[in-house]
Amino acid sequence: MRRREEFHCAVSGGGCDHYFISYLNDNMTGAYIIECPNCGHHHMRQIKEGLITSDRHSKRLGEAEIIMGLKCTLRKTPWHDDPSFKRSLIRSVSHLLTN
């Protein structure tokens, strides 16, 4: 199963201040690098069963697979603040509650 994950490429971390989406599979576990499709900044994350943990990693821990963010999802505002995204979430939850 694939999950959509939003990333913010923060200026404070050396990024470009854009938001982008990447997809993670539920069988992903380990150290991964998510690359910003706008500026190429690397976001080093630990992923466990397809979920991003609060732990980060560094290249010193060994090799990590690079996952590219989707360039078509770049935007200056977060996806989770987008009204159409919120409506789709409400629809998905409503569907679960009625079945």
Write down the pLDDT at residue 74: 92
Give pLDDT tens digits for 10-50: 998 899 999 999 999 999 998 899 999 999 999 888 899 88
Pairing of strands 65-68, 51-56: unpaired
- Euclidean distance between the first and the last CA atom of the chain, given in angstroms as a whole number: 21
